[in-house]
Structures are given as C-alpha cells and as structure tokens.
Amino acid sequence: MAKISFSFGAAVGKSALSAAALRAEYEERILKAAEWLENTPADASGNGWIVLPGCAADEIKKTAEWLSGYDNIIQVGIGGSALGNLMLNQALTDIFYNEKESRPKFFLADNPDPCKARSIMDLAGKGRTALVGVSKSGSTAETMTQFLWFRDELIKKGQSDKDILVITDPEKGIFRAFARSSGCRVLDLPASVGGRYSVLSSAGLATAAALGIDIDSLLKGAASMKKFLCEEKDLDKNPAFKMAALHLLHESEGRSMSVIMPYSSRMAYFAEWYAQLWAESLGKNGLGTTPVRALGAIDQHSQVQLYTEGPDDKLFTIICIGCHGEEITVPKVEREELAPLKYLEGQALGEMLGLEAKSTAAAIVKSGKPVIWIELEKLDAENLGALIFFYEYLTAITGRAMGIDPFDQPGVEQGKKYTYGLMGRSGYEKDACEVSRWFEKINSDRI
C-alpha cells in the first residue's frame, strides 16, 4: 500500500493569511475545479489521463514481453513522450542499469542532437535493436527526424519494420498510417491523453515493463491515490486541494517560482517531469509559476544560499524518502589524521540524506520562506504511481482554479509551426516568414 505524508505547517511563510483564511479564500474555487475535473468525460480532449489507473494493461504487457527479447531498445520521443520514461526508469531500475549486464539496454533519443543520436546508435550497434516511436500525431519534427534516421540505420543492419513499435493515436496520423502499411507493431495512445499526462499510458509503461518495472504496482498506487483525492472533499484533509490553494496564494503574493527538491538521486528525472507538467499546463494568459528543479543534497551546495537569503519569490516543496533500501554505513575511522571525522562512524548514508533534507527545510523555514514537506515511506512502484497521479491531479485542479485550460499548450504549438515553416513543410510558409521578421528584430542590435 502506498504511504505518502504531506506536511503544511510551514507552507504559508511570511503571508499574513492564516490556515482558516486560506480555506475561506480558496476552498470554493478548488472544489469547483475538482467537480469540473470529475464531471468532464474521460474522452474529452486532455482529460483521458484520469482513467488510466483503472485501464487494463494486457496489451502493453504482451508488447513489453516482445520488447524484452531484444538486446537494445531505442525510443524516440520528446517532452511527455520522453520525460515520463526517463523518470520511471531512473526511479525504479538500477541508476547504472545500462552499464551492467542487464538486457535489454534502453536508450532515449529525445533532443535531436546528432552527437547524441550517433552515440546511441554506436552503443546499440551490436545485437538486435527494437525501435520505439512515440507520437500521437506522428508529425512532431524532433521525433520524426530521429525516427527516420534510426529506422534507416536498423535497415542498414539488416533489420526491418517488423522490429519497430509505434505508440500513437488509435485512428489517425502519420504513425498510424505507417503501422497499417508496414505491419510494424503498434500500441494505442488514447486520443484524449496529452503527452505530459501520458506516463501511465502505453507511452510510459511499455518500455518500463520491458525493463522489468512492475507496472501493475504503478497503476495500483495511482488508483489508490485517485480514490483518496476524489472522495475527500475537505480542503484541510485533501493534500491536493491544500497545495492548489497554497500555489494560488503564493502566486498572488508574488512568489513566482515553484521549487521542487527531492532528496534522492533516483528522483532527479521526477523533478524534470514535474517541470514540464507544471510549466506547460499552467503558464498561460500571463499566469503561472515557474518550476525550478533542485536535487538534494547536491543543490544544498549550489542553490540553498539563494533560497535562504535571496528574495522571497519561491514556494518550496521538499520530498524526502524514508527508506532508501539497502544501507551503506560509514566504517570505523582508524587513521589519526581522520580522527575529526569519528562522529561519522556508523552513520548510514540514506539516513544522512534524510537528515540533510530536514536541515534544508528548517533553514528555509527559519528565513521566513514557505515550505511544503512530502515524505514517501520508500521509493517503489506503488508509491511512485501514487505520487505521479497526485501531481497530475494537483496540476489539473490548480489550472482550472486559475481559470485556464490545464490541458492545452498554445505556446508550444506556435513554436512547432515556426519549426515546420523553417524546415519547408507545406502549408507553413507564412510561419517561416514570420520567424524571419522576428529575427530581424533580434539581430537589430548585434555585437
């Protein structure tokens, strides 16, 4: 059973608003947002993620078993079609999975950087390789350029389209047409699930299961969190309601950044995943707070100086892991010159990481800044699934309470159109001209 606790005693910071006043100010808006979310059909655009915890995963598991027979898996995707996979794999497999004897090796081709693409292909050059393309439309330029290149490389190796899996829209798009004609494997990516909310769909789960991740437990944890959040209507007992209200409060008072700081190397990509989810969902109409990724304890030595003595413009969320698994304990100090370090004898590294999380939280609170504390009993598939659903739900109701659509991304679409135009795609000529005009302005003052 997933076990996660949320602590809000220091979450108001220097705000003059009491807990009772917070409830009076924001409860009605939050409840209306939750009601909207629960009453919107799952097949409505963007809302399909909410039913994913209860969906059958049989077809995903069959495909994962097929993928697991390869020596290498190369997945191409970007944004939500990449960050979710990186997050699951980092959190739930060995951090150095690819460096060990594990099979299949997994490579994620996200950024269309030729150096990275070539390095991936060099590493996957030996043995049989499965190519996985993830795109609902099959037209995302960054994904499709790499898909075409990697496909060509596989064919040069003597492989074929039978070694390809596409995860795409159930009915339409370039990838769907390719699957029909080529006979490659295909998994549906529900049309109502947006990329940044897709990690608990085939887009995230297929390769995760192929690497041995327990996707049943992921979905079980997400389902238990969904049940709790949807049934608990009291703002003071529902952590998503309370966090949504706090984000609204702090944004209104000029705290324009949302810092997330997990204390585990296995959660670095969780912070990256959160940053896309939060920024792309809520940054609209001149609203939204900027997500800032930090990692404890590393960023105690790079950012905490700013956090404690810099401007009061951030809301902090610190995530602590209760049990890190098998511990490493500091041995007895024998050399005389190391005697000042004797206080470290017998200290466990995982426990030390937890103490550092508490120390950072306390230092930030002492400086008058607002801190939310989240603690996972342990980082396993069930707890991670619950935390993923929590943040998806939190993001959705926060956006609705702000009065914006948390599922669209008009700013991203504009950038895509510009890219299509510059790359010569038919129908986007005007966009290419517009880019040229803006670049005239950019270059009007050049050194």
Helix (H, G, I), strand (E, B), or coil: what is residue 316? strand
Q: Which residue has the higher pLDDT, 125 or 93?
A: 93
In this prediction, residue 189 carries a pLDDT of 96
Torsional class of 371: left (φ above 0), alpha (ψ -120 to 50), beta (otherwise)? beta
Residue 125 banded pLDDT, cuts 50, 70, 90: confident
- The 10 Å Cβ neighbour count of residue 224 is 17
- Where do the domains of the chain lie, and which CATH numbers do they carry? 4-38+221-402 (3.40.50.10490), 69-211 (3.40.50.10490)
In this prediction, residue 384 carries a pLDDT of 98
Over range 103-110, report the average pLDDT.
Answer: 96
In this prediction, residue 116 carries a pLDDT of 97
Reply yes or no on whether the pLDDT at 422 is more than 90: no
Reply yes or no on whether the pLDDT at 385 is more than 90: yes
Residue 276 banded pLDDT, cuts 50, 70, 90: very high
Whether cis (ω within 30° of 0) applies to the bond prior to 10 is no
What are the CA-CA distances from residue 352 to residues 342, 348, 357, 359, 437 (Å)? 15, 6, 9, 10, 55
User: Rg of the chain over CA atoms, in angstroms?
Assistant: 23
Residue 77 banded pLDDT, cuts 50, 70, 90: very high
Reply yes or no on whether the pLDDT at 432 is more than 90: no
Reply yes or no on whether the pLDDT at 317 is more than 80: yes
Average pLDDT, the chain: 95
Question: Which H/E stretch holds residue 207?
Answer: helix 202-210
| Poorest-pLDDT segment among 195-199, 292-296, 412-416, 427-431 | 412-416
Q: What is the DSSP letter of 159?
A: -
Residue 295 banded pLDDT, cuts 50, 70, 90: very high
Residues labelled as active-site residues = 280, 301, 416
Q: Length of the chain in residues, anyone? A: 447
Instruction: Find all residues with CB under 8 Å of 149, minimum gap 6, and list them.
Output: 117
Residue 17 banded pLDDT, cuts 50, 70, 90: confident
Cβ contact 77:111 at 8 Å:
no
Rounded to whole angstroms, the Cα distance separating 260 from 8 reads 15
Question: End-to-end alpha-carbon separation of the chain, Å?
Answer: 60
Instruction: Find all residues with CB under 8 Å of 380, minimum gap 6, and list them.
Output: 92, 217
In this prediction, residue 211 carries a pLDDT of 97
In this prediction, residue 102 carries a pLDDT of 86
Over range 180-185, report the average pLDDT.
Answer: 96
Reply yes or no on whether the pLDDT at 1 is more than 90: no
Tokens of 119: 């390095």
Would the pTM count as exceeding 0.85? Answer: yes
Determine what percent of the chain is predicted with pLDDT higher than 90: 85
Reply yes or no on whether the pLDDT at 343 is more than 80: yes
Cβ contact 269:87 at 8 Å:
yes
Please give the distance of CA 155 from its chain centroid, rounded to a whole number. 32
In this prediction, residue 20 carries a pLDDT of 84
Reply yes or no on whether the pLDDT at 348 is more than 80: yes
